[in-house]
Amino acid sequence: MSIRVEAGVIHLEGRCLVEDAEPLLLALQDDAGATVSLAGATRLHMAVVQVLLAARAPLTDVPADLTVARFLLAP
């Protein structure tokens, strides 16, 4: 699994596939105040991106894929 929850931070790591969208949503629902760290993410499936955009969770760190970074972290 590409999602790890630790001390109020949801870490996305490696390739986050479509199968990771639901666990990400559940993690965000379990802890509404959690931040999402993108530091370890190398690929994000669009379903994962949609969950991040819909949840409007605070994002930290920059993912390795700068295209994703520009899309998600744009003001």
Sequence-ordered list of residues with C-beta below 8 angstroms from that of 14, at least 6 positions apart, any chain: 2, 40, 41, 42, 43
pLDDT tens per residue across span 18-51: 999 999 999 999 998 899 999 888 888 889 989 9
The C-alpha R_g of the chain, in whole angstroms, comes to 11
Mean pLDDT computed over every residue of the chain: 86
State how far Cα 10 lies from the chain centre: 7
Which domains are seen in the chain, by residue range?
3-72 (3.30.750.24)
- pTM attached to this predicted model: 0.83
Bridge partners (DSSP) listed for residue 5: 10
